Amino acid sequence: MDLLVEPFWLVKPRILSSLILTIIFINDNYFSQLVRTRVLVVGYGTIGKRVADAVMAQSDMELAGVCTPRPNANVLALLRRTREIPLVACDKDSEEAFRRAGITTSGRLSELLSSGEVDVVVDASPGGVGAENKRRFYSQSRVRVVFQGEKSRGSQR
How far is 90 from 75, CA to CA, in rounded Å? 14
The pLDDT tens digits for 69-99 are 998 888 888 887 877 888 999 999 999 999 9
Class of domain 35-147: alpha beta
The pLDDT tens digits for 18-71 are 445 455 555 555 555 567 899 999 999 888 888 998 998 988 899 999 999 998
Beta pairing partners, 144: 120
What confidence tier does 155 reach under pLDDT thresholds 50, 70, 90?
Answer: very low
- Per the CB < 8 A criterion, the answer to whether 80 and 56 are in contact is no
Within a 10 A sphere around the Cβ of 127, how many other Cβ atoms?
10
How far is 45 from 73, CA to CA, in rounded Å? 9
Write down the domain spans for the chain: 35-147
